[in-house]
Amino acid sequence: MKGSMIGTIVGTRFQIVGRIGEGWLFTVYRARDRLTGQLVAVKVLRPIFASQRQFVEEILKAFEKHTYFAHPSLVKYFAAGETEDGMSFFVCELVTGNPLSQLLQRRLPLPIHQALDLVSQAADAVGYLHHNGVVHGDIRPHNILVLPRGEVKVGDYGFLSAFLSSRIVETEWLELSAPYLAPERFQKNIATPESDVYSLGVILFQTLTGRLPFEASRITDFAHLHLTAPVPLASNLNTSVPMNLDATILKAMAKEPSQRFSTASEFRNSVQEVLATLAIETEKESDRRETVPLISPTEESKEALSVWQRLFQSALGLVLGLFIGLVIVSVVIYALLVGTKPEEVVVPDVTGMKLTQAQQILAERNLKLGVSRWEFSNEVPKGHIIRMESPLPNQRVLEGREVLVVASQGVTKVTVPDLSGQPVQDALSTLKKVRLRLGQTVKTYNETVPEGYVIGQQPPPGVDVPEETPINIIVSKGSPPPEPEIDWSKLPPDARAVKVAVAVGGTELRQVVQILVSDAKGEREVYSGVHVPGDKIVKTIVVHGPARIRVLVNGREVSQPQEL
């Protein structure tokens, strides 16, 4: 296909003149519009997805629906259709730039002004989509193109509903987009303007630090981190990031959608405010560097003073200084001799209180609060006082005394170990050593890992969790059994074999997959098994006469029924 497409005319007017490259979904070509002479990009759907008819119909419909959109930071859509031999093509604006993902490959932070400018332009484009009632749903660096002069073009918008119409496509897409998805997307996968804002927040963090806020290797691990892990401060990884920019990222990446910016335009406004602040500070710094001290006219007149005048002024200043110094010393000595002696007060018991509350109560008695050290505690909440050290409660002390306490760091946390490749018994011992416990165990077939060995876990390795947290594990059942051979001699003439492929997605650890058939012999379950996200199932089933095949995961249909 790579060579044969050159010279081909698609859509009656777009002649392909060269190949640009290939992504996970499309092969991209350069083409010329024979009507206008304009160069355009033609994206041809890869053959692996062409057989997913519902997906093809959905993505063609989505593309054509957005051809009227026009924004300087959006890739313009022109036309879509299918060739005579069934290949789906999509014609859009040809952008001479590189994806933002290419800039981020070195895992180094971009200059702050550049990062803010790029993300601001992308947010402006996404804000336009939100204003027109469209959610992008797939915001990640690969879909943000950066032109040579720094302009931005956001592409591949409006495709989310098509991705979700095919389990195979959704699974492939999730592997690419999981680092940038909002927490709620892993639970319901319903995209909203707030979920787009979250993705923009992730990209802003990445451009400023050179790394993702959450890093993992599996979709389930990303889901766990986005749902539960606190968002790190970008300033901890890049000290030049100002506090108000940290605040913008934290708001954009809030776990609850209602606590985020409601649209990408609001997020852009916040980024623009930070840019304006940085510009003012840069201008002030520049002014300070360029300011040259001037000689005032009075300095020239001082040179004209006589030597005697200068001596007189110096002597007068010395006498006045001595006099003022004597007055101050006298006042201090008087205060020390006749001043009021500090009163005695009783130290209140602040054990178990919040530090802020304890500080207020001690201040009412003219006492100060001091934390001598922090300790982990499974009983006392974080930021509360475990015990008082010196002085003790109800002891009488002079006002102004510092009261030293031991404060709680919260529950003891341990790092989740990597259990992959361990036999179940060894995994149990590993968990016990670090004071964690076994949670749910799910078994699934695996062609490479022997039976009884761990192939996955939740939470993922490297995450800090409280002691006694349950760790769910996925255990191999060994290679799947071979499918039984079909004895056609014992089957009626209307019997036929059908292959059913299921790609297990989602984020729940335990996924019950069912294949149901309705045909001439009635409705029946032909397969039921427990699987985990990432499993791929291929089953050969026998149907009789006209048939209808349904695939359910955890009791929910995951695709349109297959009519035969």
Within 10 angstroms of residue 133's Cβ, the number of other Cβ atoms is: 7
pLDDT confidence band for 1 (50 / 70 / 90): very low
pLDDT tens-digit profile of 401-418?
A: 889 988 887 777 788 888
Q: What is the 3-state secondary structure (H, E, C) of 315-345?
A: HHHHHHHHHHHHHHHHHHHHHHHHCCCCCEE
Specify the fold of 102-280. Transferase(Phosphotransferase); domain 1 (1.10.510)
Q: Please provide the DSSP assignment of 164-229 as one string.
A: TT-HHHHHHHHHHHGGG--HHHHHT----HHHHHHHHHHHHHHHHHSS-SS--SSHHHHHHHHHHS
Q: Among 3.30.10.20, 3.40.920.10, 3.40.50.1240, 3.10.20.30, what is the CATH number of 413-476?
A: 3.30.10.20
Q: Which residue has the tokens 């165990």?
A: 441
Of 13-22, 293-302, 373-382, which has the strongest mean pLDDT?
13-22
158-197 burial: b if 16+ Cβ within 10 Å, else e: bbbebbbbbbbbbbbbbeebbbbbbbbbbeebebbbbbbb
Q: Do domains 344-408 and 413-476 have the same CATH topology?
A: yes
Question: Cα(5)–Cα(14) distance, rounded to whole angstroms?
Answer: 12
Mean predicted confidence (pLDDT) in 2-7: 69
Q: What is the pLDDT of residue 284?
A: 54
pLDDT confidence band for 36 (50 / 70 / 90): confident
pLDDT confidence band for 246 (50 / 70 / 90): very high
Q: What is the pLDDT of residue 504?
A: 74
Q: Are strands 152-154 and 88-93 parallel, antiparallel or unpaired?
A: unpaired
Q: What is the pLDDT of residue 17?
A: 93
pLDDT beyond 60 at 208: yes
pLDDT tens-digit profile of 479-500?
A: 877 777 777 777 788 888 888 8
Entry field: residues in the chain: 564
Mean predicted confidence (pLDDT) in 415-444: 88
Q: What is the pLDDT of residue 130?
A: 96
pLDDT confidence band for 74 (50 / 70 / 90): very high
pLDDT tens-digit profile of 144-175?
A: 999 988 899 999 999 998 998 888 888 889 88
Question: Cα(529)–Cα(527) distance, rounded to whole angstroms?
Answer: 7
Question: Cα(199)–Cα(159) distance, rounded to whole angstroms?
Answer: 16
Among the residue ranges 59-73, 154-168, 215-229, 436-450, the one predicted with the least confidence is: 436-450
Reference 66, options 82, 47, 79; nearest CA is: 79
Q: What is the pLDDT of residue 18?
A: 92
pLDDT beyond 70 at 508: no
- Domain ranges in the chain are 9-93, 102-280, 344-408, 413-476, 491-563
Q: What is the pLDDT of residue 298?
A: 40
Q: What is the pLDDT of residue 279?
A: 72
Give the count of alpha carbons within 13 A of 409, CB side only. 8
Q: Which CATH class is domain 344-408?
A: alpha beta
The pTM (predicted TM-score) of the whole model is: 0.57
Distance of CA 496 to the CA centre of its chain: 47
pLDDT confidence band for 135 (50 / 70 / 90): very high
Mean predicted confidence (pLDDT) in 107-125: 93
Q: What is the pLDDT of residue 487?
A: 76
Q: What is the pLDDT of residue 4?
A: 66
Of the chain, the percentage scoring pLDDT greater than 70 comes to 87
Among the residue ranges 300-309, 383-392, 453-462, 537-546, the one predicted with the least confidence is: 300-309
Q: What is the pLDDT of residue 309?
A: 52
The CATH architecture one would assign to domain 9-93 is: 2-Layer Sandwich (3.30)
pLDDT confidence band for 28 (50 / 70 / 90): very high
Q: What is the pLDDT of residue 261?
A: 95
pLDDT tens-digit profile of 250-267?
A: 999 999 999 999 999 999
Helix (H/G/I), strand (E/B), else coil: 519? strand
Q: What is the pLDDT of residue 292?
A: 38
Mean predicted confidence (pLDDT) in 347-354: 91
Report the mean per-residue pLDDT for the chain: 83
What is the CATH code of the structural domain delimited by 491-563? 2.60.40.2560
